Every structure is written in structure tokens, then in C-alpha cells.
Amino acid sequence: MVRRFYGLPSLTALATFEASARHGNFTLAAAELNVTTGAVSRQIKSIEQELGVALFLRTGKGVMLTAPAEDLYRALATGFARASEVVNSIKQGNSARNVTIACSDVFGTMWLIPRMPDFWRRFTDISVDHLIGDNFKTFRPSQLELRIRYGSGKWIDEAAEFLFDDCLYPVCSPGFAERHAGASAADLADLPLLNVEWVEPGWTGWEEVLARGGVPYHAASGRRFGKFSVALQAAMADQGLVVGWHRMVGPLVEKGDLVRFTELVVPDPGAYYLTWNSTRALPAAALSLRDWIRMLAEEERRTPMPLARPFS
């Protein structure tokens, strides 16, 4: 019997493990691989028996990787991503000038896409694909070259370059502001607040904004939305107040679609970063897009922001 050259478990089992680790859920992995959940469990069990260690801890919401499994997943994800790059390169040919960038719905809609015409004028030979979504776990590393992310700037296996910071303030429709004329920051918790939930863990909501602004807060009922862009639409439709990121909502305030409500302004605890996989080199098209975004970010940093003005 000929032994496997690399001494690895079967590729089917490894692919099943990688999908399960990426999703943190056997059912989702089964759906991606078009097999049953039982088949996924059997493949995982076969690897665990071969390695002699447990790879997953079962939880009520799915599965979690054990320490040895973290190392295996990192190696497989990197290898599969690189293999995907090579396959795509072979399919497209060496002359392909294509780059894929991922960002959140609100960043794409309100910051990146309105500026893209300038990129098209400068780089007529480059094709850019946009992956837009608020859950980065749904993006496979092999699908993209660049990301624009909001947060602390620290992500596993990603090089992160600071783009710009931001500040936060309440915004609403002109009609809402007129009806509540004279209200102060101290009154915010008693007004209709539009909450954005079910997004990335680092998202800054009303509770944190009011706490940072020194405004008394109490748990209040309010409408909840899974996307910031939808919450903005609700605010413009006269339905309440939403936390506004100045870099994103500034143009809407300038147009008069939204107005700032009270003088409360607090620094954003997070920032925007341009990231890419630190384990592989960027192709020429991605480097062009990266340099262009760097230029825009430098211009953005030179634009003055409202000064932080907590409640007093």
C-alpha cells in the first residue's frame, strides 16, 4: 500500500474541517459542501481519531476550535486561499487586471462608491469587484485582496494600515428636530432612539455614545435595525434619532437630508483601516487600488471634524 506523500488526512476531511472552522457551525459547513451534517461530523471524527486530539468544543450555538485546531485552521486557510489564487490566475490568464475589495454596507455606500469615478478615470484597465456586507466572517480570504475595516486595527493574519478616525453625534430629520426644538443632550435618552444591532461586535451604539458623552442613560425601548443604512433611512423618514458617524453622514447633513441634534459630539472609539492578508503578496492591480485609497485617506484626515463636546 502506497502511503500518502505528505502524511496528511484526506483532502475531503481537511476541506470539511476548514469549512466547519470558518463557519463555526457544522450545519452551515454541510450546506456549503452540499453534504449532510452527519457526513461532516464523520469527517471531523476521522481527523480527530487520526490526530489523537479533539478539534472542536461543542456549544449551544455551534462549535469552537480547540488550541491545536486553531493552528491547523490557520495553515489550511492560508493554503486554500493561495491555491484559489493560483486557480483563478490560471483561469483568467496573466493579463488579468482585477482586484476585489470588501467593506461594510455603509462605508461602501456613503464613502467608497461615491469616490470610485476618480479611480476609473485614473486606472481604465483595472476591474474592481466590491464585496459589501457587515459580517466579515462571510468573506473567504481567497475572494478578496483588500478590506476596509472598522475597529482597533488588530486582526489575525492581516496587515492593517490606519486610514482615519471619526467622531459621533446624534442626527435626525429636519422635521424631527423642529418638533423637539429646545431639547438638550440630557433629554436624548427620553426621545425615540434608532438602534443598530446584529452587526460586528465593535459597533458603537447609543448606550456607549451617551456614556462617553456623560449623558444619563436608561434602557429605553426603540426600533432596532440590522443595517446602519436602513436606520439612516428611518431617521430621514422622521422616525427618530440615530448615532451618526461624521465621515459617513457629513454629506447628508450638508445637503439638509439630516441635521445634527444637540451639541453632543464624542470621539469614535474605533477607526477605519485598510487591511490585506499578511501572508501573501498583493498583485499589481491591488497595489494601485491601495495607493489610491491611501491618497483619499490623507485628504480625509486633513478635513477638520467637529470638536468633541460632551454633555455638561
Higher pLDDT, 98 or 172: 172
DSSP class of residue 111 equals I
pLDDT at 309 over 80: no
All 3 cell numbers of residue 219?
Answer: 434602557
Q: What is the mean pLDDT of residues 183-209?
A: 83
All 3 cell numbers of residue 97?
Answer: 487586471
Q: What is the mean pLDDT of residues 68-84?
A: 84
Alpha helices, DSSP H only, in the chain? 11-23, 26-33, 37-51, 67-92, 105-107, 113-122, 174-179, 206-212, 228-236, 246-255, 284-302
- Encode pLDDT of 171-190 as tens digits: 999 999 999 999 999 899 88
pTM of the model: 0.67
CA-CA distance, 192 to 207, in Å (whole number)? Answer: 13
- Encode pLDDT of 120-152 as tens digits: 999 998 999 998 876 655 566 667 899 999 888
Pair 110, 245: CB distance under 8 Å: no
pLDDT at 105 over 90: no
Report in angstroms the alpha-carbon separations of 22 from 193, 222, 266: 35, 34, 35
Q: Which range among 118-122, 138-142, 291-295, 301-305 shows the weakest confidence by mean pLDDT?
A: 138-142
Q: Please measure the distance between the N-terminal and C-terminal CA atoms of the chain and give it in whole angstroms.
A: 79
Pair 211, 227: CB distance under 8 Å: no
